[in-house]
């Protein structure tokens, strides 16, 4: 059953490049409501666990190092059809393939440093949201 919620992180490159405000504007303009939000930094353990599905991939070490290299903004977003619509808003993993008007097209540096995370299923949105937020931090 669709939860109408998704989970996002504005990644270290987006923060370093000063893009928090512009990305949040795009998220709001696309009709997403913020249900939880924090400015934080992942520990190596957290980043390894969050990206566990990619543990066997050649870029895993680089991914964990990058995701722990600086602060992130984590958030739970709500909208009808949130997971799919947010994936559309962020664009393809590699900004070179991302459609015009998407967050990654505007703000991602590369396939690895790609500005923003978006959950890929309702089930993962729920798991990822709970990974980052306690019940009393979700509204």
112 in contact with ligand DAT (CB under 6 A)? yes
CB of 1 to ligand DAT, least distance (A): 22
- Give every CB contact of residue 138 below 8 A, 6+ residues apart in sequence: 35, 36, 76, 129
Contact pattern for ligand DAT over residues 47 through 86, marking x by CB under 6 A: -------x----x---x-----------------------
| Alpha-carbon span 29 to 46, nearest angstrom | 30
Which H or E element spans position 29? Answer: helix 20-29
User: Helix (H, G, I), strand (E, B), or coil: what is residue 117?
Assistant: strand
Contact pattern for Mg ion over residues 108 through 127, marking x by CB under 5 A: ------------x-------
Name the residues that contact Mg ion, by CB under 5 A: 120
Active-site residue set: 117
């Amino acid at each position: 059953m669709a939860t109408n919620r998704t989970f996002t992180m504005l990644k270290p490159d987006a923060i370093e490049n000063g893009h928090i405000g512009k990305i949040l504007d795009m998220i709001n303009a696309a009709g997403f409501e913020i249900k939880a939000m924090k400015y934080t930094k992942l520990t190596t353990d957290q980043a390894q666990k969050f990206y566990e599905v990619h543990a066997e991939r050649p870029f895993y070490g680089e991914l964990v190092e990058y995701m722990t290299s600086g602060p992130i903004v984590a958030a739970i977003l709500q909208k009808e059809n949130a997971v799919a619509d947010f994936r559309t808003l962020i664009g393809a993993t590699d900004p070179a393939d991302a459609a015009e008007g998407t967050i990654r097209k505007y703000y991602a540096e590369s396939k690895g440093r790609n500005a923003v995370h978006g959950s890929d299923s309702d089930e993962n949105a729920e798991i990822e949201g709970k990974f980052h937020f306690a019940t009393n931090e979700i509204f």
